[in-house]
Amino acid sequence: MTGWQTLLYKEVLRFWKVGFQTVAAPVLTAVMYMLIFGHVLQGRVKVYDTISYTAFLVPGLVMMSVLQNAFANSASSLVQSKIMGNLVFILLTPLSHWSWFLAYVGSSVARGLAVGLGVFLVTAWFGRPGLVAPLWIIVFALEGAAMLGTLGLIAGLWAEKFDQMAAFQNFVIMPMTFLSGVFYSIHSLPDFWQRVSHLNPFFYMIDGFRYGFFGVSDVSPWLSLAIVSSALLVVSWVAVHLLRVGYKIRT
């Protein structure tokens, strides 16, 4: 294995060794959402004419789990390594900023997809969504996971303590995911909130992802793809730049 592949392998091994906490636990959380919201709202909320609410909920929950876990992976790994001091073992190596980027984002994508697949397998049993355009599903899952893995990398570099990282997660990532249309179609929102939702890049990830299952969405999947890809390029550029200058890690 080359240098960056080793770092990727190490980062995957890190979450896989505590898989009960990093993969099984989020799957269970998503099942809870499914049971409660599915039970309470089934039959009361109609999003698209032909789709039951529980089926509508499945892709949203899957994408939410992918996003949250991709973020948590790179962010907590970096903060933990900084606090434990063992980041020095990577800082001492000849690994380039691109190697760091590929490894941390790659392992976040791996964890996001592992959790997402778990959530899908369990919740699909309740909801039975279709699989109209699987390629869109894969593309949006990959881009969404990469986007949040990159944001986690930035947050992990920035945060010096666990509570700073938790603040980033609770005050930025959580609201943006919850308000992106995981539990509802934004068409059901008042006009003003519809327009606000259109400013949230997370909305396009979930909307495009859902298109892959049902073949219907709030906006065109091509528009979603363009917006998500542009956002991914911007945050990646920021992350690579921070790694190159050694932001907060090389004093």
Partner 1 sequence: MPAISFQSVSKLYPAAGGTSLKALDAVTFDIEEGEFFGLLGPNGAGKTTLISVLAGLSRATSGRVAVHGHDVQIEYAQARRRLGVVPQELVFDPFFSVRETLRIQSGYFGVKNNDDWIDELLQSLGLADKAAANMRQLSGGMKRRVLVAQALVHKPPVIVLDEPTAGVDVELRQTLWQFIARLNKQGHTVLLTTHYLEEAEALCSRIAMLKAGRMVALERTSELLKAASSNVLRFKLDTALPAQFEGKARVTGRIVQLPAHDAHEIERYLAIIREAGLRVEDVEVRKADLEDVFLDVMSAGYAGRSAVAAAPPPDDGTAHGADPREADSIEAPTA
Binding site for partner 1 (CB under 8 A): 1-3, 5-7, 9-10, 13-14, 17-18, 81, 84-86, 88-96, 246, 250-251
Residue closer to partner 1 by CB (options 15, 136) is 15
Residue closer to partner 1 by CB (options 1, 135) is 1
- For residue 85, the minimal CB distance to partner 1 (Å) is 4
Residue closer to partner 1 by CB (options 3, 215) is 3
- For residue 151, the minimal CB distance to partner 1 (Å) is 23
Q: Any long-range contacts for 188-193 (C-beta under 8 Å, 24+ apart)? A: 188/45, 188/47
Q: Count Cβ atoms within 10 A of the Cβ of residue 58 and give its class: 0-12 exposed, 13-18 middle, 19 or more buried.
A: buried
- For residue 7, the minimal CB distance to partner 1 (Å) is 7
- For residue 118, the minimal CB distance to partner 1 (Å) is 21
- For residue 80, the minimal CB distance to partner 1 (Å) is 9
Residue closer to partner 1 by CB (options 15, 202) is 15
- For residue 156, the minimal CB distance to partner 1 (Å) is 16
Residue closer to partner 1 by CB (options 82, 210) is 82
Q: How far apart are CA 236 and CA 50, in angstroms?
A: 38
Residue closer to partner 1 by CB (options 94, 190) is 94
